[in-house]
Amino acid sequence: MAALCLFTWIVLGGNAVAHTSLVEETAPADGYYRVRFLVAHGCDTSPTHTVRIQIPRGVEFISAWHKPGWIVNTVPSLGASDDDRTELVKEVVWTGSKIPANEYDYFEIQVRLPDEEGRVLYFKTIQICDEGDLRWIEIPEEGKSADDYESPAPALTLTAH
Amino acid sequence: MKIVVFSLISRSIAVAIVAASLLAGTDAALAHAILIETEPASESSLATPPTEIVLVFSEAVTPVVMRLLDTEGKAIAEVDDVRGRNSRLILPLRARIADGQYLVSYRVMSADTHPIAGAFSFSVGAGGKVDGFEIQEQGFEPARAMVLANRLLQFISLFIAAGSVFFLVLVRPPGYMQNSLRKIATIAAAIAVVTYILAIGVGGADMAGVGPGSLIDYSVWKLAAGTNLLDSAIVGGSGVVILSVGWHIPHVAGRSTTLLIGGVVALTGLAFTGHAATATPQWLTAPAVALHLFTASFWVAATIPLVWILKASPAAESTLVLNRFSSRAAIALAVLVASGVCVAIVQVQSFPALISTDYGEILLLKLGLVLLLFVLAAINKYWFTPRIEKSDSNGVWHLRRVIHIEIFVMAGVLVLATLMTTTVPPRSIATVARQDTYDVMSDRIESAGDFATTMSQQGYVIDVSVSHARAGRSTLTVTVKNEAGVPFTSIEVRANLSLPALDIEAIKISLEPQVGGEYYADLQEIVIAGDWDLRIDVLVDDFTQLIYRMRVPIGQSDNLETEL
């Protein structure tokens, strides 16, 4: 009994602490790159049925990596882009399936990163569950880091080419 | 000349003493009352039924109507049961009320006889959301229009009746003119008495919120008779009677004094109702209002004989009277302006209030018209009066024209002054804003210990206030606005409080959205005094959360019998 409790506590406790985050937290600036998001859990016991990821300013969205069972939609940004040939994508949305509350899943997008070494890109993410939602949208204030927050936005730091 | 001045002064002193003693009878420091708080709170959902309904106003009021209604409109408790004739009105509920939705409808009267009415709803039990009532906006009330019309007529008739007295005593027009003046003054006096009496009836109709037809209903008059409308009518009416007597007795020794006392008392009746003469400091505002009324009536009444003089009199006589009038009028003008500015400062209190409030705007308009009057008077004095001295008939014609225009502008000023008597001055609004919230449990006002701040980020401004900032009894209110000051509906507002000094981790506070774009939370769990770190998260859109941080001092709780 005690072992079961301990086990449950470790598994669930561990999951309760895990944020939705990036698998790789650094990437070289100015190049094509696959950003991988790890969704670690649902809303308490409720499964996730929608994932929305906001594309930061300066990042060009190329395509989403296909996930069987899921449908991908993009939301264009309002306002003109410099380049009239392509519409800038502001948000990518996955729907159509569910991630059980206690399971991991990956979501991947192919982007072109801006040529700004040292900049931290925040890919704000919202998980919408059957009951409730989780918003990973907190950006650390001056003098603080992501560890100081409960729901920090997944962050990608740009390094040299 | 010296003798005349001396006797005038001594008479004025006698009159002033009479006026002062009358004004001392008016209630001090009473303004337009405003509803501050209710129990149960508006649109709240209660688990157990309340045992009483409490309305807290900014100052003492008299209840006219106070009813608890159920969803079928049936009255469960009514005004006869109301306890407390001060700023806290308590309607005890004799029987336990069932679960469901209720509406409290009230109409009360503040000391300046202005009615305040409203309604709010609450629910008891698992009924949940309060949405069963449609509280209708109070539209145009004919009773209010009648009050204003009667008041305007009152101003005009009183000013002519009393002002003619001042003109007679100060300017001393020729004998034939005095006869005509007496006739006009008598008619005006009769009208003035009628308006004083009518003011009781229409005031009662306004208070009770009924239509003009109810004037035949005795209870409406009885209602108003319990207020200072009756005092006003008695004092003002007596004054009018005295001055009428003064006009009709022969030229005996005490005639002028009788006339003056009558004129002063008649005008003083006006000060009994209305908020100007009761503003603090009363030693300043009461005399200021009195002087303002006296000098204004002098100016208004003077226009009539002046027009006659210019029509009928030979040039030499006209000039004499005009010059005499000019010199008196200059002093009267100075007093008018000084007293007006005094009262305006007390009522408006700050420059921004001048342009941002209704009262301030009407005042500015009135000042504009008064300025116009100055210009016209100056034109008369420096341009046309000299021409009359030279027996220039054109001068007479022009002077009369200008005086006609003056009469027109004066009418405008009187209309605005009438409107101001039913508009809430910034002084009253400021009183409520600055006033600490009443503690509904006890009768005392909670003294300071309130925290308020405004912070701005990315174009979103939040107003944060923690009231009763004491351990265990504070409440938090947050309002979100954009930079233009327009309330903004955010998706969610959350807060958490932590006390780093004692290593207390963030206590999560959930804020409930209220009517009017505010978010409210009870901070009952914050039971320890100290400098708490308050963090407010405003979710302005799906992906944008703004974080505001501030330090809130929370004081020691005072050990009161607050729990029931």
Q: How many residues does chain B have?
A: 564
pLDDT band at B112 (very low <50, low <70, confident <90, very high): low
Contact A137 B547 (CB under 8 A): no
With an 8 Å Cβ cutoff, is A124 touching chain B?
yes
Contacts of B492 in chain A (CB under 8 A): none
Highest mean pLDDT among A91-95, B399-403, B431-435, B529-533: A91-95
User: What's the mean per-residue pLDDT of chain B?
Assistant: 76
With an 8 Å Cβ cutoff, is B510 touching chain A?
no
- Secondary structure of residue B372 in the 3-state scheme: helix
- Secondary structure of residue B489 in the 3-state scheme: coil
Please say if the pLDDT value at position B133 is more than 50. Answer: no
Contact B539 A141 (CB under 8 A): no
Q: Which of the pair, B62 or A99, is modelled with greater confidence? A: A99
User: What's the mean per-residue pLDDT of chain A?
Assistant: 85
pLDDT, one tens digit for every residue, chain A (161 residues): 555 545 544 444 443 447 899 999 999 999 999 999 999 988 888 999 999 999 998 899 999 999 999 999 999 876 555 555 456 788 999 999 999 988 999 999 999 999 999 999 999 999 999 999 999 999 998 888 888 888 999 999 999 97
Highest mean pLDDT among A74-78, A116-120, B284-288, B478-482: A116-120
Over residues B539-551, mean pLDDT = 91
Over residues B174-191, mean pLDDT = 87
Contact A137 B545 (CB under 8 A): yes
Distance CA B48, CA B126 (A): 10
With an 8 Å Cβ cutoff, is B542 touching chain A?
yes
Distance CA B17, CA B223 (A): 32
Query: How confident is the model at residue B247, as a pLDDT?
Result: 86
Please say if the pLDDT value at position B429 is more than 60. Answer: no
Distance CA B501, CA B493 (A): 26
Q: Name residues whose C-beta falls within 8 Å of residue B148's C-beta, 6 or more positions apart in sequence.
A: B418, B419, B422
pLDDT band at B8 (very low <50, low <70, confident <90, very high): low
Contact A135 B547 (CB under 8 A): no
Kindly state the tokens that stand for B417.
Answer: 């002054």
Contact B542 A52 (CB under 8 A): yes
Query: How confident is the model at residue A127, as a pLDDT?
Result: 95
Q: Name residues whose C-beta falls within 8 Å of residue A79's C-beta, 6 or more positions apart in sequence.
A: none
Q: Which of the pair, B242 or B432, is modelled with greater confidence? A: B242
Q: Which of the pair, B81 or A146, is modelled with greater confidence? A: A146
Query: How confident is the model at residue B562, as a pLDDT?
Result: 33
Q: Tell me whether strands A155-159 and A26-28 are parallel, antiparallel or unpaired.
A: parallel
Among A141-145, B426-430, B432-436, whose mean pLDDT is lowest? B432-436
Please say if the pLDDT value at position B207 is more than 80. Answer: no
Distance CA B153, CA B169 (A): 24
Kindly state the tokens that stand for B265.
Answer: 């008392």
- DSSP per-residue codes, B178-208: HHHHHHHHHHHHHHHHHHHHHHHHHHHHHHH
One-letter amino acid of B348: V
Q: What is the pTM of this model?
A: 0.51
Query: How confident is the model at residue B438, as a pLDDT?
Result: 34
Cβ–Cβ under 8 Å, residues B156 and B181: no
- Secondary structure of residue A140 in the 3-state scheme: coil
With an 8 Å Cβ cutoff, is B541 touching chain A?
no
Distance CA B282, CA A107 (A): 75
Q: Which of the pair, B254 or B472, is modelled with greater confidence? A: B254
Could you tell me which residues are beta bridge partners of residue A133?
A128
Query: How confident is the model at residue A135, as a pLDDT?
Result: 95
What sign has the CA pseudo-torsion B455, B461, B462, B463? positive
Among B211-220, B395-404, B469-478, whose mean pLDDT is lowest? B211-220
Dihedral (Cα; A86, A88, A89, A90), 10-degree rounding: -170
The pLDDT tens digits of the residues spanning B361-418 come to 888 899 899 889 888 888 887 877 777 777 677 777 788 888 888 889 999 999 998 8
